[in-house]
Amino acid sequence: MRTKEYKSIQDWMERTGTHQAELARRAQIPRSVLSQLLSGARRCSLGSAFKLAKVTGVPVEKLVKWPKVPIKRSFLEVASN
């Protein structure tokens, strides 16, 4: 039996009909952290990646390559503050 492979957390959430609050509860991470991950405002830590991968089946390798926002842009935003 082949398991489904999901491209991202958003893909998993859409295909399973799971909301942020439920995923955060099941993965045992704060909802605020999950929200920041989904928006690309925060990088996914290794610990969160393992928890999310366990629940969703999204590979850890994909999760730690988050966010969508390039590091260069994030660095410039931090440096300008």
Q: Catalogue all structural domains in the chain, each as residue range(s) with its CATH number.
A: 9-80 (1.10.260.40)
Closest to 59 (Cα-Cα) out of 16, 15, 9, 1: 9
Q: What is the pTM of this model?
A: 0.75
58: exposed, middle or buried (Cβ count in 10 Å: 0-12, 13-18, 19+):
buried
Copy the structure tokens of residue 62. 């994909």
**pLDDT higher for 64 or 71?**
64
Q: For 6-21, write each residue's pLDDT tens digit.
A: 888 988 999 999 999 9
Describe the crossing of helices 46-56 and 20-27 by its angle, rounded to 10 degrees.
110
CB atoms within 10 A of CB 29: 19
